[in-house]
């Protein structure tokens, strides 16, 4: 098994693993499965295995995983679970691309939970999160206007986020910041975090686009109840390297 310096094991660089379960069973297309340091969310800093599904119908202007739009390796759900087990972290993130664009993402999340993993699901917020196994931790974007995809936000998803779920805004500029501030106020999202019906509001600057000091100042001036986060994996391994 090839393991690169960051501990990643890209599925696309390896042959199929030994059969696990029925090889004709339900499958997903997988861009990569690797372990790394979780770079974002309240789980940041923890060793985590990432299952990156192939394909996304959105095209965020600043997307940093466009390499996951096409290709990928066909793997059965059982094979995916076996690959994750082999990497040995207790924390797993199902991501993409957009994982929830694929029907079989829902059962594989349940299979990972049944196998004893803590499972995070990173989603764009453009697809219905309600059918997800309630034991999964949702990390859901609300797309700001600067992404070019804010018209895809499925606002009803806010009703399906609970005490273990997190809402993320990726901010490209002052316009995005003000949009986020308005949404937090209008939807009373700070109140939801305070009362415990939502775990956290995350603010991520678009890499190399936002002056970090300015963004910090805006947040402090407005006393926004948010968590400013950097993408730790990019600080460690650089902004363009896949599989970390």
Interface residues with ligand SF4 (CB under 6 A)? 56, 58-60, 63, 65, 96-98, 124
* 53 closest CA partner among 159, 127, 146, 118: 127
Q: Distance between CA 11 and CA 32 in Å, rounded?
A: 5
Q: Distance between CA 107 and CA 140 in Å, rounded?
A: 19
Q: How far is the CB of 143 from ligand SF4 (least distance, A)?
A: 7
Q: Distance between CA 236 and CA 244 in Å, rounded?
A: 9
Please, which residue, 27 or 69, has the CB nearer to ligand SF4? 69
Please, which residue, 207 or 225, has the CB nearer to ligand SF4? 207
Establish whether the linkage from the previous residue to 97 is cis, with ω within 30° of 0.
yes
Long-range contacts of 106-112 (CB under 8 A, 24+ apart): 106/131, 106/132, 106/133, 107/26, 107/77, 108/28, 108/51, 108/77, 108/80, 108/81, 109/133, 109/136, 111/77, 111/78, 111/81, 112/81, 112/84
The answer to whether the CB of 131 falls within 8 A of the CB of 114 is no
Q: How far is the CB of 22 from ligand SF4 (least distance, A)?
A: 30
Please, which residue, 21 or 106, has the CB nearer to ligand SF4? 106
Q: Distance between CA 124 and CA 139 in Å, rounded?
A: 9
Q: How far is the CB of 154 from ligand SF4 (least distance, A)?
A: 12
Please, which residue, 8 or 31, has the CB nearer to ligand SF4? 31
Q: How far is the CB of 124 from ligand SF4 (least distance, A)?
A: 4
Please, which residue, 225 or 242, has the CB nearer to ligand SF4? 242
Q: How far is the CB of 204 from ligand SF4 (least distance, A)?
A: 11
Q: How far is the CB of 206 from ligand SF4 (least distance, A)?
A: 10
Please, which residue, 207 or 228, has the CB nearer to ligand SF4? 207
The answer to whether the CB of 170 falls within 8 A of the CB of 141 is yes
């Amino acid at each position: 098994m090839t393991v690169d310096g960051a501990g990643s094991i890209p599925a696309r660089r390896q042959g199929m693993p030994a059969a696990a379960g029925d090889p004709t069973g339900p499958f997903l297309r997988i861009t990569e499965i690797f372990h790394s340091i979780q770079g974002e969310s309240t789980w940041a800093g923890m060793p985590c295995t990432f299952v990156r599904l192939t394909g996304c119908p959105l095209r965020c202007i600043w997307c940093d995983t466009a390499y996951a739009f096409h290709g990928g390796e066909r793997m059965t759900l059982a094979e995916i679970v076996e690959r994750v087990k082999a990497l040995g972290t207790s924390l797993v993130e199902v991501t993409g691309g957009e994982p929830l664009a694929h029907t079989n993402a829902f059962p594989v999340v349940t299979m990972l939970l049944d196998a004893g993993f803590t499972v995070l699901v990173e989603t764009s917020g453009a697809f219905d999160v309600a059918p997800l196994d309630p034991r999964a931790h949702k990390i859901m974007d609300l797309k700001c206007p600067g992404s070019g995809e804010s018209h895809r936000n499925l606002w009803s998803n806010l009703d399906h986020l609970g005490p273990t779920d997190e809402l993320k805004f990726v901010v490209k500029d002052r316009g995005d910041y003000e949009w986020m501030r308005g949404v937090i106020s209008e939807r009373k999202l700070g109140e939801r975090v305070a009362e415990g019906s939502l775990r956290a509001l995350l603010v991520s600057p678009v890499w190399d686009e936002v002056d970090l000091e300015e963004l910090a100042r805006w947040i402090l001036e407005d006393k926004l109840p948010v968590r400013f986060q950097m993408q730790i994996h990019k600080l460690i391994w650089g902004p363009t390297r896949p599989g970390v």
